[in-house]
Amino acid sequence: MDQNIVGLSSMATRPLLADLSEHIRHTHKLPVHFDSAGGVEIARRVREGAEADLLVLADGALAELEKEGHILRGTSRPLWISQVVAAVAEGATAPALDSEADLRTALTSAKGIAYSTGPSGTALIALITRLGLADTLSDRLVQAPPGVPAGSLLVAGRADLAFQQHSELMDLAGVTIVGPLPGDTSISSTFSGAVLGTSSQPGRAGEVLDLLGSDAASKAARSRGMRAPEA
C-alpha cells in the first residue's frame, strides 16, 4: 500500500483541503491527508521538525518558514485568496457595510469585536489603527484562541461582531455573514502551498501540490469562499 502523503494546514483551508483530499484520493489514487490547526501551532510544528510532506499556510507565514530553510526550494506557490468578512450572531440585526462610514459605525456600535490569531486578525487590528479607532475600541476587542473560529465568540455571547476568513465562518452554526468589508477597507489573505524539507516523498507531494493548484481545485475553492490568485 502506498504511504500516505501528510499535509499540515491552518484552519482557514481545512474544509477545502478535506474536500480536495478526498477527490485526489479517489480520482488520482494519491492517498493524502491534512492535519489542520491554528497557523501559529502549525508553524511551531514545522520549526520543530514535524514529519510531513506538504504545508498550506498564509503566504507571509509560509514565506518566513521558507527563509528559515524548512521548505523544499522552488516548491512554494500561491493557491487561493480568501476574503475577510464580518458576521453577527444568527437573529441579530446586521449592520450596513456599504461604505467606510458604515464600517466605522458598526465598529463603534459593537460592544464586543471578535477577531482571530491568524492573518485576518493581524490585518483587522492594522485597519482599526489606520481608521484611528485603536484607543476607542481597545477594551472591546476579543481575540479567539488559536484554532478557534472568531464566530464562535458570537455564539457564546462574548462578542456581537466578528471578523474572519469567509471560509471559516460560512459553515458555522449560529452565525450570519454580513459581507466583506467595503472599498479600501477590504481585507484578503493569500494561502500558499509548498513541499516540506522533511518530506520523505517529495515527488508525490509535488504531484498533490500541482493538483491543489489545478482548475478543478479552483472551482472547489469558490464553493468554499475562496478564489484562485490572478494569473
pLDDT the model gives residue 209: 98
pLDDT the model gives residue 9: 96
Q: What is the largest CA-CA distance in the chain?
A: 59
Domain count, the chain: 2
134, 209: one domain: no
107, 166: one domain: yes
Coil, helix or strand at residue 44: helix
b/e burial code for range 17-39 (CB count within 10 A of at least 16 → b): beebbeebeeeeebbbebebbbb
pLDDT the model gives residue 195: 98
Q: Count how many Cα atoms sit within 13 Å of the Cα of residue 160 in the half-sphere of its side chain.
A: 13
pLDDT the model gives residue 1: 44
Q: How many CB atoms lie within 10 A of CB 141?
A: 18
Tell me the pLDDT tens digit for each residue of 130-139: 999 999 999 9
pLDDT the model gives residue 147: 78
pLDDT the model gives residue 117: 85
113, 20: one domain: no
34, 117: one domain: no
pLDDT the model gives residue 38: 85
113, 178: one domain: yes
* Positions of the chain with pLDDT under 50: 1
The answer to whether 111 and 154 are in contact (CB under 8 A) is no
205, 156: one domain: no
Torsion angle, alpha carbons of 113, 43, 212, 179, to 10: 10
Give the CATH number for residue 173: 3.40.190.10
Phi, psi of 151 (to 5 degrees): -65, -25
117, 178: one domain: yes
9, 95: one domain: no
SS3 track for 134-158: HHHHCCCEEECCCCCCCCHHHHCCC
What are 19's three cell numbers?
A: 474536500
pLDDT the model gives residue 231: 54
pLDDT the model gives residue 22: 96
Range of the domain at 206: 5-81+191-227
